[in-house]
Amino acid sequence: MIPSIVRYVVHPLHERLLSRRTFAYLKELEASQWASPDELRGLRDSKLRALLVHAQSRTAFYRRRFARAGVDPTRDEPWDALQRLPILSKPEIRESLDDMVWRDAPGGLFPYDTGGSSGDTLAFYFDRRRQGYDQAARIRSHRWFGVDAGDREAYLWGSPIETHRTNAVKCLRDALCNERLLSAFDMSPECMDGYLDDIERFRPACLFGYPSSLALLVDHARSRGRRMRLPQLRAVFVTGEVCYPHDREALESYFRVPVADGYGSREVGFIAHECPEGNSHVTAENVIVEIVEDGRTVPPGETGEVVVTNLDAYAMPFIRYRTGDVGRLKAGRCACGRGLPMMDVVLGRSTDFLYLPDGNIKHGLSIIYPLRALGGVRSFRVMQDENYAVTVEVVCDERAARITLRSICERLRPVLGDEVELCVKKVERIGTSGSGKYRYVTSRAAGAGARKHQEVSGNA
């Protein structure tokens, strides 16, 4: 479809039908990105106070939490109040989910779930406000590279939302929104040949996907002696994993356009995105990023755990949420002129590809998603041996519906096929690596040593 029609008709109509004020939010964000750091801190404090007052008045969980911390959001300075609150963890959310939710959120509640560094599943809820701001922030970051809403975008992705659509619904959505979804969960040579043809025919303005999968596609194209002709391509957007320098170099040298890295999570949203100057800007209008070490918030330049507060998550507030990622804020102001603060993500969770005997290559998330969807599985670890055999260790929640090893195998067999030996074991706990980080998919099969990848929480 003609991009201008999608931009000015289809997208606004779609958002209006969903009761999302995405384009009104986008107008706000386009203006506020040029504000000074002091002006952005003023906006932060105003929105933070409103969120804290809302959380106290609408949710039993935060009423108790504020009382224990001696916080009164109607009187205390917002930043001081925030600093007195404890950090929020996944176990707390699981135990108190019903008490954290504002069930009268305008437009209703929308359930989501995510895994974590150990595949540790978490259920939560969004409202239309949170969805709209996330989408607006994404459109804004695309505009930094000359890509606007309605321009053709090809995804090499594995979102469970997308993969569960019927073909008819997916094709209609693709046609109306100028989007094309290619599965990062099926990277056999034959599929990748088809992806190269499909992308070239589609003529996208940008590509979006996991850096690992896009780099694998580039490696395959080069092995075929294939140079795609993409005259309208302006940028490659990567997210969902740490983008290693060698993957960035491979993508930039092949596509000859900028590679821009985004950082976020399904729980707390669109956190930061790289600008054309190469700095990653925090979406400061929507999230507060703290770097915490030994229980204290450290200044820019120091490394610690990334802790995030989403200022627009009203249906289910995430206030000082522990992401499990390691990062640092950067001092100064970017040469691009934006007042948005800058940050680096130093380390995320590690993951590998899975390799099948027929030559197919599966992104680690292809097995994480079906495990995550099993309500009785609390956490898991997936290990693949040199002979392609896969062992899955699972920690089951005895309070949930009874789950059997057979039911887990039945869920995973379509991912691995019939030729791969599969063993599922129940364990009491999942251990960490020597670095203290979980590696929830690890492969030693042929080809796995060529590239090790890291996932940075969510949006996945």
The per-residue pLDDT for range 117-174, each reduced to its tens digit, is: 445 678 899 999 999 999 999 999 999 999 999 999 999 987 554 445 546 666 777 7
Which one-letter DSSP state was computed for residue 428? Answer: S
The per-residue pLDDT for range 265-299, each reduced to its tens digit, is: 889 999 999 999 999 999 999 999 999 998 899 99
CA angle 137, 298, 40 (to 5 degrees): 35
CA angle 310, 315, 33 (to 5 degrees): 35
- In the chain, the amino acid numbered 112 is Y
Contacts of range 49-55, beta carbons closer than 8 Å, 24 or more positions apart = 49/73, 49/78, 51/309, 51/311, 51/312, 51/313, 51/314, 51/317, 51/319, 52/78, 52/81, 52/82, 52/319, 54/102, 54/314, 54/317, 55/317, 55/319
The per-residue pLDDT for range 11-24, each reduced to its tens digit, is: 889 899 989 999 99
Q: Where are the beta strands (DSSP E) in 369-451?
A: 377-384, 390-396, 422-426, 439-443
* Topology classification of domain 349-455: GMP Synthetase; Chain A, domain 3 (3.30.300)
Cα of 169 vs its chain's centroid, Å? 23
Burial 123-158, CB ≥16 within 10 A → b, else e: ebbbbbbbbbbbbbbbbbbbebbebebbbbbbbbbb
Burial of 397 (0-12, 13-18, 19+ CB in 10 A): middle
With CA atoms as reference, report the closest residue to 132 among 32, 29, 21.
21
Burial of 236 (0-12, 13-18, 19+ CB in 10 A): buried
Domain 3-132+265-347 has CATH 3.40.50.12780: yes
Task: Report the pLDDT value the prediction gives residue 456, as an integer from 0 to 100.
Answer: 35
CA distance 110 to 134: 14
241: helix, strand or coil: strand
CATH no. of 146-257: 3.40.50.980
Per-residue confidence band for 352, with pLDDT thresholds at 50, 70 and 90: confident
- Write down the residue that tokens 């490659």 correspond to: 236
Query: Structure tokens of 243?
Result: 């983008």
Domain boundaries, the chain: 3-132+265-347, 146-257, 349-455
Domain 146-257 in the same topology as domain 3-132+265-347: yes
CA distance 295 to 93: 19
Query: Structure tokens of 108?
Result: 């209703």
CA distance 453 to 232: 29
The per-residue pLDDT for range 298-313, each reduced to its tens digit, is: 999 999 999 999 999 9
